[in-house]
């Protein structure tokens, strides 16, 4: 294929990615408009709401300024002043990353990956700018800078994952051109030992983060199943109807990755907050008034007597990750300086894992309402430090296990 064809196909795929992301919110909202409101409200209201959800899912903040009549109907007096909503539904962004990875793989297969990546990214920038402008109105207004810049950045993450994965699958260098040459020169300077430690640290840290998140996902599923009655009761008491219930369920599914990260923060120890001055952690559960969102009914109302057993998860995952990458270090380094290399790798694993978990905590937290609801989710720094402490000790123990021989298999 020539450059023009690659650029056009990449732009078309980027357009489809944006359309799918908006449709996730627009379809149920349109059903709500037709069934619940009988076409009585201007459809543009629901269009702007869908765009707002899409932008919020990619990290753009929303500024909400409710009128006095709406405040009186809701009974939320503290919403009299404009407030920010920044709690991103990570499910929306995850869809963009996955679809972006598909585009990245296609760009790699075309042989003109730079053209494909630039075309797709530019398309998302233009669409994000248009959508951000059309979604602005008096009540809810997305940040223009965040609305234009955040979706392309999220999409670029997916493009990079797909592109690098496809190139590695073919046996090529992950990054070609001058950037690839610079990376190769840099890795040559640190030598075989340094490359082995860096690779093992990245691999081990990724294993730790994936293991903690995986355990958190299983825990969330178990807790939701155990709290099924409470969740259904909140649905029934809300009186939202079938169509409204479907819309709320889809919204909760978009926030499901957030709940998984919150649970991961709970397993690590710091826990998370549902409002200023609240805390849900293995040590204590201190909650104020909780929004009547059905899925939040799964949050435990009191302290759990065996809550600290959750700390076993990051310790076990850290130990297993270190044990998994240890043989590669032993083979690459040999007997000379092996202990130092193992210690450095254990520290590297903990650092990589702490950065990853801290970033996940940052992405999953934010503001979801006025006043006390300006602080929702885990504290990123606390999560990163807890990951560093728990997995660091466990990784050191994992590195200390086994034989100290280069013939280890």
Per-residue model confidence (pLDDT) at position 291: 82
Per-residue model confidence (pLDDT) at position 69: 66
Lookup result for tokens 């939320």: 76
Bridge partner residues of 65 (DSSP): none
**The tokens of 327 are what?**
């043989």
Bridge partner residues of 273 (DSSP): 377
SS3 299: coil
Nearest to 106 by CA among 177, 23, 189, 166: 166
User: At a CB cut-off of 8 Å and minimum separation 6, what does 90 contact?
Assistant: 57, 254, 255, 257, 258, 261, 363, 364
Residues 338, 229: Cα–Cα separation, whole Å? 55
Per-residue model confidence (pLDDT) at position 407: 44
Residues 265, 261: Cα–Cα separation, whole Å? 6
Alpha-carbon separation of residue 180 from 119, 164, 185 (angstroms)? 21, 12, 9
Q: Considering the entire predicted model, what is its pTM?
A: 0.89
SS3 354: helix
355-392 residue pLDDT tens: 999 999 999 999 998 888 899 999 999 999 999 999 99
Per-residue model confidence (pLDDT) at position 109: 85
Per-residue model confidence (pLDDT) at position 65: 85
Nearest to 147 by CA among 163, 175, 128, 161: 128
Residues 90, 188: Cα–Cα separation, whole Å? 38
- pLDDT less than 70: residues of the chain: 1, 69-80, 170-190, 402-409
């Amino acid at each position: 294929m020539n450059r023009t064809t690659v650029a056009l196909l990449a732009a078309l795929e980027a357009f489809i990615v944006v359309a799918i992301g908006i449709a996730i919110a627009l379809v149920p909202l349109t059903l709500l408009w037709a069934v619940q409101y009988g076409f009585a409200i201007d459809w543009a209201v629901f269009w702007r709401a869908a765009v707002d959800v899409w932008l919020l899912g990619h990290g753009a903040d929303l500024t909400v300024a409710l009128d006095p009549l709406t405040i009186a109907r809701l009974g939320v007096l503290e919403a009299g002043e404009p407030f920010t909503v920044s709690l991103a539904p990570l499910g929306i962004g995850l869809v963009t990353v996955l679809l972006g990875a598909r585009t990245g793989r296609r760009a790699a297969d075309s042989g003109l990956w730079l053209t494909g990546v630039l075309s797709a990214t530019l398309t998302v920038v233009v669409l994000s700018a248009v959508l951000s402008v059309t979604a602005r109105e008096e009540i809810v207004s997305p940040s223009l800078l965040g609305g234009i810049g955040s979706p392309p950045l999220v999409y670029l993450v997916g493009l990079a994952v797909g592109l690098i994965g496809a190139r590695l699958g073919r046996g090529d260098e992950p990054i070609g051109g001058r950037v690839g040459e610079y990376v190769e020169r840099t890795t040559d300077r640190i030598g075989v030992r340094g490359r082995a430690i860096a690779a093992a640290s990245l691999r081990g840290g990724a294993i730790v983060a994936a293991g903690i998140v995986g355990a958190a996902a299983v825990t969330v599923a178990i807790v939701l199943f155990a709290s099924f009655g409470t969740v259904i009761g909140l649905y029934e008491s809300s009186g939202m109807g079938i169509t409204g219930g479907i819309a709320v369920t889809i919204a909760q599914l978009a926030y499901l990755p957030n709940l998984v990260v919150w649970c991961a923060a709970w397993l690590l120890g710091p826990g998370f907050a549902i409002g200023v001055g609240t805390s849900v952690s293995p040590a204590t559960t201190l909650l104020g008034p909780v929004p009547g969102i059905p899925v939040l009914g799964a949050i435990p109302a009191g302290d759990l007597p065996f809550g600290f057993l959750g700390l076993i998860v990051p310790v076990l995952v850290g130990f297993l990750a270190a044990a998994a990458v240890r043989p590669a270090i032993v083979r690459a380094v040999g007997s000379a300086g092996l202990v130092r290399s193992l210690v450095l790798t254990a520290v590297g694993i903990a650092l990589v894992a702490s950065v990853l978990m801290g970033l996940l905590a940052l992405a999953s937290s934010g503001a979801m309402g006025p006043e006390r609801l300006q602080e929702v989710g885990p504290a990123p720094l606390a999560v990163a430090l807890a990951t560093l402490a728990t997995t660091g000790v466990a990784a050191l123990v994992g590195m200390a296990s086994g034989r100290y021989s280069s013939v280890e298999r």
